[in-house]
Amino acid sequence: MEKIIPLSFLDILLVIVSSAGLLHGVLFAFYLSVFKKKKTLSNLLLAFILVCMAFRIGKSVMLNFGDDLEPIFIFAGLAFLLLIGPLLRWYVFGMTRPNFKLPKYYILEFVPFALIFIASLFVTKEWYENSKLVIIVFSSGLVFIYLHFAFYIVLSWRTLKRAKRHYKQEQQTKSRSAILNWLHLLIIGFVVIWGSYVLNILDETVPYVVGPILYSVIIYFLSYKAFQLKVTDLDGDVFKANNNNLLFDEISKLVIDTKLYLEPDVSLAKLSTMIGKTTQLTSSVINQYAKQNFNDFINYYRIQDAKKLLSSAGSDKYTISSIAFDTGFSSLSSFNGAFKKFEGMTPSSYRKGRV
């Protein structure tokens, strides 16, 4: 009896951990589809993915910890994987293509799910326990379902890779980078879940309960990243063609080629006036493409010039203060602060290290 107590406690703990992720995924889906103010197609697709995963993971939890689970639940739970693949691919499309709409033929991609789900409704416990065909039918169904899911994961990955190639690094705004990073993590998460179940099927080296537990860990991590990257507020519209990249080229050319950054009185308002744009647009473009605010954008180039002066031959004849003012800083303290921010050390330490 003493040996049973730890095992029973472990079972309860595993049920709690695996079910917690399932519940979290459902609540996240509910938030995306009901409470989220911006009702985008992408958010709805993600919500459907989470709900389908909940059915799949729920079946795993009941099968692992429950006794005499009805066969209909086993087959129906597996069938939901046939929905997740197409939904995942459409979600990637929705997050990387402006004005994405579901294709007219999308209903055809639901046919495998519909066939297996309907067939599962006719599976009886007697047939499941006594028929000689069960092993053949069940094994064939598993192979088809997991290959189907793998096929769509590969398609989704290829779609993401094409998007990354199309929108080169210099064209990536903060929003675009956030979406591409998020999709990368999402697909990897599905690969890990898929792998855990497949390894269990092949030789049972991975315990069956690992699937639900991994899902719990992954869904918590992905929901955290979704809010951190703010991807629930974004969709493929951020990839719309615009002239902001050309505007940033104009700003860079003006600031760098004419050494505008060396002027102590340079400001966002002054720069905006020079290019004939609003301060809001100028600030937004710099934030998106330089991934810095205006002050850091200007100070970065000032610090590059300061580093050249500090490391040049005979630099000792220049005081730190004179270098600060020569590179556009209005005070020694602001120069020291900016230098340490970009280089991780003070100007005097930098100079000593170059001697």
Give the model confidence (pLDDT) of 173-225 as tens digits.
778 889 999 999 999 999 998 888 888 776 566 676 777 788 888 988 999 99
Domains, the chain, ranges and CATH? Answer: 4-239 (1.20.1070), 246-354 (1.10.10.60)
Helix axis angle, 279-289 to 244-252, nearest 10°: 90
Q: Which residue has the higher pLDDT, 21 or 275?
A: 275
pLDDT of residue 168: 67
Arithmetic mean of pLDDT, 61-76: 70
- pTM higher than 0.75: no
Where is average pLDDT lowest: 193-207, 308-322, 337-351?
A: 193-207
Which amino acid, 9? F
Instruction: Give the other-Cβ count within 10 Å of 310's Cβ.
Output: 22
Higher pLDDT, 8 or 84: 84
Burial of 252 (0-12, 13-18, 19+ CB in 10 A): middle
Higher-pLDDT residue of 138 and 233 is 233
Give the pLDDT confidence score for residue 6 in this predicted structure: 43
Structure tokens at 46: 């993600």
Spatial neighbors of 269 by CB under 8 A, at least 6 apart, are: 279
Query: How far is Cα of residue 331 from the mean position of the Cα atoms in its chain?
Result: 41
pLDDT-derived band at 3 (thresholds 50, 70, 90) equals: very low
Q: Could you tell me which residue, 6 or 57, shows the higher pLDDT? A: 57
pLDDT of residue 5: 39
In this prediction, residue 53 carries a pLDDT of 87
- Non-local CB neighbours of 86 within 8 Å, separated by 6+ positions: 106, 109, 110, 152
- Report the range out of 4-8, 22-26, 309-313 with the highest average pLDDT: 22-26
Q: Is 161 helix (H, G, I), strand (E, B) or coil?
A: helix
Cα 48 from Cα 316, distance rounded (Å)? 66
- The mean of the pLDDT values for the chain is 84
Per-residue pLDDT band at 271 (split at 50, 70, 90): very high
Evaluate if residue 347 carries a pLDDT over 60.
yes
Q: Which pLDDT value is given to residue 214?
A: 83
Categorize the per-residue pLDDT at 354 as very low, low, confident or very high, splitting at 50, 70 and 90. Answer: low
Report which of 22, 140, 133, 120 is spatially closest to residue 80, judged by C-alpha positions.
120
| Element containing residue 53 per DSSP (H, E) | helix 41-65
Q: Which two tokens stand for residue 202?
A: 């092949």
- What pLDDT, on a 0 to 100 scale, did the predictor assign at position 161? 93
**What gap in Å lies between CA 27 and CA 282, rounded to an integer?**
39
